[in-house]
């Protein structure tokens, strides 16, 4: 039997959900017995591959790059998991939504600068007008709340998916 293909990425967020994923510790060995990680921060792949079974996406959609990666992951994956409160609700990244983007960039990069005050344009992704949860841009199949989700909750979700079941998150996970 072929192994399940898992891709992970983080969009606008702190990477805490990926840290929590790594905190499943030695249980990662059991996961890797049934799955291959084909995209993510610890994998050398430069582009989201075709035929991913499970996409695990952390972070809010805040930039054009976030939007494009989320759309590519959705198009090339069977199941999309929104991992953590930023992906599920927009959480901290969406706190900027009350401030016009141009004003925000001006405040940070010009008014707040101590050297070379200018809004960067080279190599910086264009911010969207609003930051939002993953579901604001793509269809999400499973929402895993938590800031970050507890490792046991992440392991439960992965374990269920690896067994071909949809996880019943009922009492397993919570926001915050």
∠ CA 65-68-73, rounded to 5°: 125
How many Å apart are CA 29 and CA 54, to the nearest integer?
Answer: 18
- Residue 173 predicted with pLDDT over 70: no
* Per-residue confidence band for 170, with pLDDT thresholds at 50, 70 and 90: confident
- For the stretch 133-155, pLDDT in tens is 999 999 999 999 999 999 999 99
Query: Which pTM was predicted?
Result: 0.93
How many Å apart are CA 63 and CA 71, to the nearest integer?
Answer: 12
pLDDT top residue among 172 and 120: 120
* Per-residue confidence band for 17, with pLDDT thresholds at 50, 70 and 90: very high
Q: Residue 105: which of 133, 89, 129, 69 has the closest Cα?
A: 129
- For the stretch 40-68, pLDDT in tens is 998 999 999 999 999 999 999 999 999 99
- Residue 128 predicted with pLDDT over 80: yes
């Amino acid at each position: 039997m072929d192994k399940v293909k898992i891709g992970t990425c983080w969009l606008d967020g702190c990477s805490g959900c990926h840290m929590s994923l790594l905190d499943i510790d030695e249980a990662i060995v059991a996961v890797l017995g049934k799955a291959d990680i084909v995209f993510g921060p610890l994998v050398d792949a430069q582009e989201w591959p075709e035929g991913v079974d499970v996409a695990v996406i952390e972070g809010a959609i805040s930039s054009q790059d976030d939007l494009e990666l989320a759309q590519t992951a959705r198009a090339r994956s069977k199941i999309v998991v929104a991992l953590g409160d930023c992906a599920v609700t927009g959480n901290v990244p969406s706190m900027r939504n009350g401030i016009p983007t141009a004003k925000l960039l001006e405040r940070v990069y010009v008014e707040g600068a101590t050297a070379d005050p200018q809004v960067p344009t080279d190599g910086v992704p264009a911010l969207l007008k609003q930051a939002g949860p993953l579901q604001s841009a793509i269809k999400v199949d499973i929402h895993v709340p938590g800031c970050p989700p507890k490792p046991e909750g992440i392991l439960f979700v992965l374990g269920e998916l690896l067994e071909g079941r949809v996880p019943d998150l009922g009492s397993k996970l919570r926001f915050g």
